[in-house]
Structure 1
């Protein structure tokens, strides 16, 4: 007989945020950010803002509210 074991839910400490979300995170909790890297939009895209890849320190999480 087989039993399925669900792996524990792993939330990655790295998030891809819009510039507005990144500014909100910096204003609320700057100390939780370990590193941040700007990712420009793809060539030919209508999106001019790009994204920010944020790595959070261990024990911190990003809430969307």
Structure 2
């Protein structure tokens, strides 16, 4: 469905990267989100380029 969205809980002061891939080898950062201690929502509003795309939220170190 368009747009794809996801929700995740955050910790205040932490920075999170929302990333996507089509092959699990190469990940692209779509957004950097600063944690506030509350839930955040990310929506990928890009046009779908591939039949399948996978997402992850990674804590930036």
TM-score, normalization by structure 2: 0.33
TM-score, normalization by structure 1: 0.32
Higher alpha-carbon Rg: 1
Specify which structure has the higher proportion of strand: 2
Larger RCO: Structure 1 or Structure 2 (Cα < 8 Å, ≥ 6 residues apart)?
Answer: 2
